[in-house]
Amino acid sequence: MTTITYRDALHDAHREALRTDERVFIMGEDVADYGGTYAVTKGLFEEFGRHRVRNTPLSESGFVGLGIGAALGGMRPIVEVMTVNFSLLAMDQIVNTAATFLHMSGGQLNVPVVIRMATGAGRQLAAQHSHSLEAWYAHVPGLRVVAPGTINDARWMLAAALEDPDPVIMFEHATLYGTKGELDDAGPVDLDTAKVMRPGTDLTIIGWSGTLAKALDAAAQLDDRGVSAEVIDLRSLRPIDDATIIESVARTNRAIVVDEGWRSVGLSAELAARITEQCFYHLDAPVGRVCAEEVPIPYPSHLEQAALPQVDQVVDAALAVTGS
Q: Which residues are designated catalytic? A: 60, 129
Distance in angstroms (rounded) separating the CA atoms of residues 323 and 305: 27
Strands (E), the chain: 2-5, 24-28, 53-55, 76-81, 114-119, 144-146, 168-173, 180-183, 195-198, 203-207, 229-233, 236-238, 255-262, 288-292
Residue 43 DSSP label: T
Q: Which sign does the torsion angle of CA 71, 16, 121, 322 carry?
A: positive
Query: Are 97 and 90 a contacting pair, CB within 8 Å?
Result: no
- Please give the full DSSP string across 12-33, using - where no structure is assigned: HHHHHHHHH-TTEEEEETT-ST
Residue 45 DSSP label: H
> Whose CA is closest to 315, among 252, 209, 208, 223?
223
